[in-house]
Structure 1
Amino acid sequence: MMEEKDVKFASMPAGRRTRVKIPRLRLSGRTSLLIGVAALLVMTYNSFLQYVEPNEYGIKQVKLGANRGIQEKIYGPGLHFIIPVVQKMHFLPKDIQVLELTNFPRTASEYARQEKAAHIQTSDGFFVDVDVSVLYHIADPYKVFTKIGPGNLFEDNGVIPKTEPSLKETLGELTTEEFYNSPLRAAKAQAAREKLNEELEDKGIVVDYVLVRYFRYSDEIQKN
């Protein structure tokens, strides 16, 4: 029979914690220099350089100094030097923009700006909801920035407020029956495009197409 023996385990004194030694990483002078240069390049890139995408315009704003304000020079794709705090680069899209007026959002492109369908009264007094696609582009970013504003204001304060009134003026000349006449309807859409350009060209925006995609009369007319 095995004899029982008292086994004593050494315990750590109270109040003391195990210390884990972290090995020190020793870098050569050349490696430290390379890391320092890399960190300096990253800091310079983030602070002093702004990248303009291929589908963007860059517009520089000078906040301090004698030449304060929005600069007329437009910056193309690539890296451009700016002075932090003193200068700021703004961006506007260069590619075709799309405004979709529709009550059926799933039929519109996910990349388009979506607003409700144009609510138009025909010349004989009836109402029709019209789905319209407006394709346009920024032709003069300096004018857009100085006359409308930065960011997406070219949509909110530029194209959108002008679109439905132009459609009401041109498509509203049609009678209920004439709305079904495709060539006549297309001619009125073209007239709306011309009217929009009269309103927007001096602000740097050009409307390329106004396309009527779908229209729906009020329930009363649909029943008749």
Structure 2
Amino acid sequence: MHIGKFTAKYIIPIGILVFIAIFVIGVKFFVIKVGVDQVGVRTIIWGVKRGIVQRDYGPGWHRAITAIDQWDLYDGTVQTLELAKEPSRIGHDERREAAIRTADDYDVSVDMIVKYQIKEGEAWKLRQDLGTGERYKVIVENETRDVARSIFGRMVERDLYNPDEKRKRAEECKIQLMERLSPRHVNIIDVLILEMRFDPQLERKIKNIKLAELDNVLNKSKALAAEQRGITQTIEADTEALAQKIVGDKERAITVLDAETTKTTIELLAEADKYLVQKKAEADLYKQQRIADGTLLIKKSQAEGEGLRREALSGLGGDIIIAMEAARNMNLADVNISSLDLNLLDVDDMATRLGVTDTRGILRVDPKTFKQIQEMLNQPKTPDTAKPK
């Protein structure tokens, strides 16, 4: 029982240790890791199919059985070749600048950088053609120096300080390196020219030439500046004259517009006054016509009324009115009336006697009495009237 408990207590840790040991041994002897910046090439050295496997292996774990598989790892990133007198930290090795002999026999040192990369999917071809190791880097450097001597060697003195010429030569270097290194499974990314250094004699000569050119450019610039100042002054004078002309034209235009506006205003006011007078005359004429029409209507109405009055007076109504006027104007102080012969309370008889006809149209008043009544009517009224006796 005691031995069984001891076995159960230690069997799990022992199993874990054994698993770890097997994993470590397996990693060491059976697999290999390709980094994220690497490309792997596998060579089978023992078995039915021997030789380089015709494919590139990317980052990750791959089979690497000892004595069967052989692996070569290459840099898969963009690499830098720096040819400079004092190389920076970009390059991995201490390199010297490219020495050039120009076409006019001057020694020139060129500091340059070449960016390159192993072609994608062709690392196994590079391993097959060039063998193991970093021999391809030596080939890239040798080809670069050779191309630089060929391209920059055709330059002459005046080209050495011309930036456009330098960029042109760098582009030619890139094209030639691509043509030479493409069969070696290397792709050229870019070629950069950092600096060109000359021997002291050439440097002094170039400096003098450059100073002379700068003096020439300065003199041309001064002459051009003087010419431009003259042009500027001419332009300023023309501009001032044009501005004055514009101001004068503007003032004249304002004066003309003011006169035209005043004239238009006067014409409009005259038209308005004329229209007002015309309308007032028309209104006065219309008023006079209406007054005349009204007066004529009144006259017609009066004439018609007088005619109607006369017509009314010619009949029974006229008799009655005359009788009433006679009675109203009668002065009883001058009339002697016999109560026996005249009954004052008999209205009908009194009306007849005063000139009103009877129903048969016969006057009841004798002519003598009617004549007296008319005479009384024609007499003026007196302020005092006598009462009847």
Question: Alpha-carbon deviation of 1:122?
Answer: 1.1
Give the number of equivalent residue pairs. Answer: 196
| 1:221 paired to 2:174 | no
Give the gaps of 5 or more residues in structure 2.
Answer: 1-7, 206-389
Q: Which has the higher strand share?
A: 1
Bigger mean CA deviation after superposition, 140-149 or 69-78: 140-149
Q: Which residue in 2 is equivalent to 1:36?
A: 18
Deviation at 1:165, TM superposition (A): 0.7
139, 151, 173: which one aligns with 1:170 = 151
1:111 deviates by 4.4
| 1:59 corresponds to which of 41, 45, 56 | 41
Q: Match of 2:167, as an amino acid?
A: A
Q: Which moved more, 1:141-150 or 1:40-49?
A: 141-150
* Structure 2 residue aligned with 1:134: 114
Distance 1:190 1:96 in 2: 19
SS at match of 1:66: coil
Runs of 4+ with deviation above 3 angstroms: 110-114
CA distance in 1, matches of 2:42, 2:9: 42
Q: In structure 1, what is the equivalent of residue 78 of structure 2? A: 96
Alignment match, 2:351: none
Hey, what does 1:152 align to over in structure 2? 134
> Residue deviations 1:70-113, cap 9 Å, x none?
111211100001211111111011100000001113xx125444
- Which structure carries more relative contact order (alpha carbon 8 Å, separation 6+)? 1
TM-score of the two chains, using structure 1 as the length reference: 0.83
SS of residue matched to 2:160? helix
CA deviation profile, 1:115-151 (whole Å, cap 9, x unmatched): 2100001111111000000000000212221122222
Which secondary structure state, in structure 1, belongs to the residue aligned with residue 77 of structure 2? coil
TM-score norm. by structure 2 comes to: 0.49
More helix by share: 2
Matched with 2:165 is 184
Residues 39, 56 of structure 2: 8 Å contact kept: yes
CA contact (8 A) 1:98 1:113 kept: no
CA contact (8 A) 1:142 1:204 kept: no
Percent identity over paired residues: 23
Match of 1:207 among 174, 188, 201: 188
Greater shift after overlay, 52-61 or 169-178? 169-178
Amino acid at match of 2:19: V
1:194 deviates by 1.0
Q: Distance in 1 between matches of 2:201 and 2:41?
A: 51
> Is the Cα–Cα contact under 8 Å of residues 82 and 91 in structure 2 kept in the other structure?
no
Summarize deviations over 1:145-170 as a string: whole Å, max 9, x none.
Answer: 112222211102x2011111101111
Query: Is contact 1:136–1:205 with CA below 8 Å preserved after alignment?
Result: yes
| In structure 2, distance between residues paired with 1:49 and 1:99 | 33
TM-fit CA distance, 1:53: 0.4
| Corresponding position: 1:116 with 2:106 | no
Partner of 2:291: none
User: What letter corresponds to residue 67 of structure 2 in structure 1?
Assistant: V
Structure 1's unaligned 5+ residue stretches are 1-25
Q: Structure 1: how far apart are the matches of 2:50 and 2:160?
A: 53
CA-based RMSD: 1.6
1:14 matched residue in structure 2? none
2:156 counterpart letter in structure 1: T
